[in-house]
Amino acid sequence: MADEAVRAVQKWLNKTYGSVPGFVAAPENGQTGWPTIYSLRMGLQHEIGISAIGEGFGDTTKNALAPVVGSLKPGYKGNIAQLIQGAFWCKGISPVDFNNEFTNNTLNAVKELQQDAGIAADGSVTVAFMAALFDMAAFVLVSSGDAKVRTMQQALNRKFSGELQELMPCDGVYQRATNTALIYALQRAIGMSSAQANGNYGPGTIAATPTVNQGANSDVVQVIQYGLYVNGFYTGAFDGYFSSDVATAVVAFRKFMNLPPFNSTADLTVIKGLLTSNGNTNRDSNTFDTATQLSAAQAKQLKQFDFSIVARYLTGSVGAGAAERDKYLTSTELANLTEAGLKVVPIYEDGGYELDYFSLQQGIHDGFVASSTAAKLGFPAATTIYFAVDVDVQSGDIDGTIIPYFRGISQA
């Protein structure tokens, strides 16, 4: 459904900046979306003196905007005021006006977004605020969001947005920006300076990650509480106190992830396991996957190294050109593995490196190929086959790609 206020913004953008070199017209459809946001950004870049305008909001835009933001308050007149109002209309916040004057109504809209973001609603326009405004990021709870996750996002913004010079979305959806901010919070809690902390769980963070037990009260514990909540193991307060409820949640997480010993100690294995997809990569393991066709000798050696489970691909090859080699499991290899005392988990991945690979029909095809191949190799009918999604889709169309793909697999 078209929003006439948004349509008015789109028409004004095209009329005002249509002759500016590099400007891409906004669709005059009354619907908010990235194309209109890009047009707003281009208009803003033109107003702050950037000649090579574009879709992004990077360092060039931020640096050019820095000396301007201080003047963006009631009394300011100029196209930037109207661009700000237009961005608010596209954000779903009414600035009431749509003209070239920064009015008290505009100020109230600024305060509303600040409040939604969890920061002080003082009406001050900053570069970080402008980056968040001229973006599709949501700052209200969306239908797929979680109210407690939004509370966490707001708290992280309140505490660290000044240091990070950015505002993360506060839509209740745990996403990349939220995870990065949570790692940043851990880094600051363990004593890293704002210059050292970067939201990446690297060697320095690994070395400094503490071991925490029941009874502790600290910012590190609050990060653990956040991590336990978003992983589905804790529903209590985010107060930084390592209570018996937190201890119970840590034990449950350890058991679910098979991270012995199954006690309530939150160490590197637990904390990194909560905040990253790979967890503590130095932890002990009895399972591995490989694209190499294993010989009988290799199978015996792996068993001697205390591995008990190997995940192997049902089909396909790896590499390209002269380096291409088969990765598929053979009946001979399967016999070698089982004779060595190894259990085998079948994996299917014969593509899937781009988002457009995934569809209902592709899922039906892959499900059929995987199940028939597994049957020919002698896997029992009830065997679980793991299908890979080897592409980052955190900001992609999951509902229109990945979910139909797995529905197709189930139909095969």
Whether residue 121 has pLDDT greater than 80: yes
Token readout for 230 is 């978003």
Contact 3, 31 (CB under 8 A): yes
* pLDDT for the residue 391: 87
Q: Mean pLDDT throughout 388-394?
A: 84
CB atoms within 10 A of CB 291: 16
Residue ranges of the alpha helices (H) in 295-350? 296-304, 331-339
User: What type of residue is 123?
Assistant: G
* Distance set, CA 337 to CA 59, 309, 310, 334 (Å): 54, 9, 8, 5
- Do the beta carbons of residue 408 and residue 364 sit within 8 Å? yes
- Element of type H or E holding 317: strand 317-318
| Mean predicted confidence (pLDDT) in 317-340 | 95
pLDDT in tens, 222-267: 999 999 999 999 999 999 999 999 999 999 999 999 999 999 999 9
pLDDT of residue 320: 87
Find the mean pLDDT for residues 279-297: 94
pLDDT value, residue 126: 98
3-state secondary structure 52-65: CCCCCCCHHHHHHH
pLDDT at site 352: 82
Closest CA to 121 of 107, 137, 142, 135: 107
pLDDT of residue 393: 80
Task: Give the model's pLDDT for residue 397.
Answer: 81
Helix and strand element counts for the chain (H, E): 16, 6
Residue 294 DSSP label:
-
Per residue in 151-204, pLDDT (tens digit) is 999 999 999 999 999 999 999 999 999 999 999 999 999 999 999 999 999 999
Q: How far apart are CA 18 and CA 133, in angstroms?
A: 22
Query: Cα-flanking dihedrals φ and ψ of residue 316, to 5°?
Result: 95, -175
370 vs 319, which has greater pLDDT?
Answer: 370
- Residue 1's pLDDT is what? 80
Whether the pLDDT of residue 396 is over 80: the answer is no
Alpha-helix runs per DSSP H in 25-78: 34-47, 59-65
In the DSSP assignment, the letter for residue 123 is: -
Mean pLDDT of the chain: 96
Cα(151)–Cα(334) distance, rounded to whole angstroms?
A: 50
Q: Which of 169-173, 281-285, 300-304, 327-331 has the lowest mean pLDDT?
A: 281-285
Which residue(s) pair with 309 in the sheet? 287, 343
**Residue 394 pLDDT exceeds 80:** no
The position carrying tokens 């899922």 is 363
Average pLDDT for 326-344: 97
Cis upstream peptide for 261 (omega within 30°): yes
Q: How confident is the model at residue 392 (pLDDT cuts 50, 70, 90)?
A: confident
Q: What is the pTM of this model?
A: 0.83
Q: Which residues pair with 168 in a beta bridge?
A: none
Q: Report the relative pairing of strands 325-326 and 317-318 from DSSP bridges.
A: antiparallel
Please check whether residue 136 is in contact with residue 33, taking contact to mean a CB–CB distance below 8 angstroms: yes
